[in-house]
Each structure stands twice: as structure tokens, then as C-alpha cells.
Amino acid sequence: MGFDNAFEMAVSSIRFGKGVTREVGMDLAELAVKHVLVITDPVIRRLPPVATVIDSLERSKIRYTIYDRVRVEPTDESFLDAIEFARRDSFDALVAIGGGSTIDTAKAVNLYVTYPPADFLDYVNPPIGKGLPVPGPLTPLFAIPTTAGTGSETTGVTIFDLTKMHAKTGIANRRLKPTLGILDPDNTVTMPPEVAASSGLDILSHAVESYTAMPFTGRPMPDSPKMRPAYQGSNPISDVWSIQALRMVAQYLVRAVADTSDEEARSQMLLAASYAGVGFGNAGVHLPHGMSYPVSGHVKSYRAPGYASDHPLVPHGVSVILNAPAVFRFTAVANPDRHLQAAEALGANISGVKPGDAGRVLADRITWFMRELKVPNGLRAVGYSSSDIPMLVEGTLPQHRVTKLSPKPASPDDLAHLFESAMVSW
């Protein structure tokens, strides 16, 4: 079969600007939309972004129905609740307003209502599901992020917790991409500092992971173009977006968390999320994300400050960044130059650094951000201990979509050592 020699860039259209949320009604009217499903969560439902969308829809005389039961860190059960709600009526467009959890829920609703599968896991990434391709075009979906982190408005990926496995999995297909991502800095004004920190660190890890991922030429040649995965490995176009996202994170993340009234910093972080989304949405992420999924899925009692959650929660960005320093110390040997370039983009001084020190320099720089933003000091601080490591390794192993993109293969023993190293961050 041989290795692939091609990659494909697929990204959503993006509109950026202060106040552009008000334009969504006109966009839908141009598409002759008659009835739109607005998807959000119970907290955002009460905040200005939803009120702005509703006002825009009413001005354009578009009928709407609101679903506001999105779960932060969604599960298969919360997806099914939204899908069941959407099936009760007919909608010719969807608008998602919220963080990555909301936009991912809307993608799942769009797919499962448009092309109902025989079994829920049919579309889910293998080896957990069958990974069946999306059969055809989906309903228009407009994504309006209220956090600066996931980049879900630019990607064809939706992530959820599979309850019976206590681990995250997902669905990845280019057709899941939103029709338009509407990036409005006004919508991140209400983001609590802890949410800004977690989502900003998610951007950081998205960008480093996609920049250091296995090259696209390391993948097997697919049987047909449609079987080429959404996560293809690092490539020359994703690289440009990922490295620029890191420069923006270096300049604006700490500012955006420290002062929510700093409009320049908030705007730039909103853009950085989409920049990183273009990067990882086509290159992919690797071990920090693969290892984060069981960390989120097996949370016992930890409840993250700043999140209005009715269940124990390790926010996604936190679960990812806790593993990142250990991972990059491990993977740097595969491509020291890339790890050093990422560290430099994040503000580290790399002059005179030997290739053998690349992992340490990058890990130290990421740890600096973690400490500056008051992230919990390692997995132990969110309730895990060494006795949990076999369970965490078990939850990471099925994440082939991302783990196989690691520039250095990680065995179960390697993963165990990485989790042990992540128990205490500094």
C-alpha cells in the first residue's frame, strides 16, 4: 500500500469582528431558512450572546426553537438528549452559541438527525466505533463561540464522553464542519478567568501537538480520497497556522485571563483559537489529548472553579495541559527542531540550546504558563494517584485517532511513565 503523499486542507468559513453576532439572522434569511434550532447551555442561555442571536433572528423574521440543555463536557447520553429533542420537529438550519461542548453537540445533532445510523457508534472513531463516513451534505450550521479555546467552529470533529467507558471519543469527518464560524469578541466578555485560562491552554496544546505531530507522509495511503482522515499529520499549511497561534498565545493569553476588559487580548485569543483550529483540524493532535480523555472521563469529585457545573469536572483544557510537559519531554527526541521552534514561539529563549534539551525547554515553558495561570499542580491535584495509572492507560489506548499521530510511538509502559510524571507538574 505504501505511504500517503497528499494532504487536504478543509476549514470552515470564518467571520471576525466586534458585534458580528447580530448578522446571523441576515445570513439565515439569505439561505431562505424557515425554522432554526438554536443550541446552547443553561448558563449561556441567560447571557447576552443568546439574547443577541434571538434579536437577530426576530429582526429577520426567522422562526426559532431553543435547546438549552447542553452539558459541559458532553456525553453520549447528553448528545442523545439533544438529538431526540431535534427529531421532534423539522429544522433547516442550526445555530450553536457557546463553548466547544455546545458546538460539538450541534455537530452531532446535525449528523444524527440528517443521517440516522443503525447504531449510535456507527460514526464513532474506531476501534470504539465503526468510523463510517458521513453519507452526504449536512444542514447549515452556524457556530458562535463564547470561549476562546476549542476551535470547534473550524473543525470537522465532535468529542464526547462515552459513559460506559469513562473515556472520551469522537467523530471526525470534514462534512461536520460548521458552515460559518462567527467570531465576535463581545461574546467572550462574560467568560470567567478560570474558563479563559483552561480554554487558552487548550489552544496552546492544540498548536504544539499539531506542529509536532507525525508528518502526513507517515500515514498509510488510503483506498480512496474520502478515506483520508481529518487528522492527517503535520503538513506545511497547518504548520503556518499552528506556529502563529503559539505566538498569539505567548503575547495575549496571560493578559486575557488577568483582565477580562482587555478587549485586544480577548480578540486575539478568539482568533488564536481559530488559527489553532485550522492547524489541528487538519494535522491532528496527539498524546496530550489522547491522555486527557480518561482524565476527564474518570474524574471523581474535583469541581473546577469558575465552571457552573452540576457534576464533577476537570475542564478539557486543564486535562490536556496537565499531561503536556511530560509528553513533550518524551516526544522531543523524534524531532528536536520542531519542539524548539514551538518553545521559541511561546517566548522561550532557545539560543545555544542543544537538541537533547529541546523537550525540557518546551516543557518548562508550558509549565511557566500553567503556574502563571494557577492551573492545578498535576494530576494529583485533581484527585488522581499512582494507583489510577492502569485505568488511565486503559482509557488512552483506544484513542488511535490521536495517539497514532505521536511523533514517537508510546507503548502502554511509556504511557504509564508519562502519567506518573504528570502526577506533579512542578
Residue 386: CB atoms within 10 A of its CB come to 12
The domain boundary, picked from 188, 217, 249, lies at 188
Q: Quick check: is 65 in a domain?
A: yes
pLDDT average, residue stretch 180-192: 94
Residues 240 and 92 in one domain: no
Q: What is the Cα–Cα distance from 375 to 425, expressed in whole angstroms?
A: 10
Same domain, 226 and 180: no
Contact criterion met (CB below 8 Å) for 410 and 419: no
Q: Is residue 330 situated within a structural domain?
A: yes
Mind listing the pLDDT tens digit for each residue in 94-115? 999 999 999 999 999 999 999 9
User: Where is the domain boundary, 188, 217, 239?
Assistant: 188
Q: What is the CATH number of the domain that holds 88?
A: 3.40.50.1970
Whether residue 3 is contained in a domain is answered as: no
Residue 81: pLDDT above 80?
yes
* Beta carbons within 10 angstroms of residue 374's beta carbon: 12
Q: What is the CATH number of the domain that holds 224?
A: 1.20.1090.10
Burial status of residue 164 (CB atoms within 10 A of its CB: 0-12, 13-18, 19 or more): exposed
Q: State the DSSP string of 204-270.
A: HHHHHHHHHSPBGGGSBPPSSGGGS-S---B-HHHHHHHHHHHHHHHHHHHHHHH-TT-HHHHHHHH
pLDDT of residue 83: 98
* 64: DSSP letter: E
The reply to whether 122 and 178 lie within a common domain is yes
> 88: buried, middle or exposed (CB in 10 Å: 19+, 13-18, 0-12)?
exposed
In a domain, 123, yes or no: yes
**Average pLDDT of the residues of the chain:** 95
Per residue in 17-49, pLDDT (tens digit) is 999 999 999 999 999 999 999 999 999 999 999
Is there a domain that residue 426 lies in?
no
Cα-based angle 58, 61, 63 (whole degrees, multiple of 5): 80
Q: 69 and 139: one domain?
A: yes
- Tell me the three state secondary structure of residue 177: coil
Domain count, the chain: 2
pLDDT-derived band at 14, boundaries 50, 70, 90: very high
Nearest residue to 179 via CA among 230, 140, 135, 137: 140
**What distance lies between CA 387 and its chain's CA centroid?**
28
Co-location of 161 and 306 in the same domain: no
* Cell numbers linked to 366: 508550558
Q: Does residue 7 lie within any of the structural domains? A: no
Pairwise CA distance, residues 79 & 87, whole Å: 12
One-letter amino acid of 417: H
8 Å CB contact between 275 and 248: yes
What's the confidence (pLDDT) of residue 85?
98
Domain containing residue 276: 193-421
Say whether both 145 and 198 belong to one domain: no
Give the C-alpha distances (Å, rounded to integers) separating 370 from 68, 103, 298.
32, 26, 22
Q: What's the whole-number mean pLDDT along residues 123-142? A: 95
Q: Computed from CA positions of residues 218, 219, 220, 224, in that sequence, does the dihedral angle turn out positive or negative? A: negative
220-254 pLDDT, tens digit each: 999 988 888 889 999 999 999 999 999 999 999 99
Q: Are 122 and 28 in the same domain?
A: yes
pLDDT tens by residue, 391-418? 999 999 999 989 999 999 999 999 999 9
Alpha carbon distance 68, 60 (integer Å): 22
Residue 358 pLDDT > 80: yes
Regarding whether 165 and 137 lie in a shared domain, the answer is: yes
Q: Which residue did the predictor score with more confidence, 149 or 115?
A: 115
Cα 357 to Cα 214, 287, 321, 329, 345: the distances in Å are 20, 20, 20, 9, 16
Is residue 1 in a domain? no
Categorize the per-residue pLDDT at 260 as very low, low, confident or very high, splitting at 50, 70 and 90: confident
Quick count: other Cβ atoms within 10 Å of Cβ 303? 13
- Residues 236, 176 share a domain: no
In the prediction, which pLDDT does 401 show?
A: 86
pTM value is 0.94
Q: What is the dihedral of CA 199, 201, 206, 211, to 10 degrees?
A: 150
Q: Is the pLDDT of residue 167 over 80?
A: no
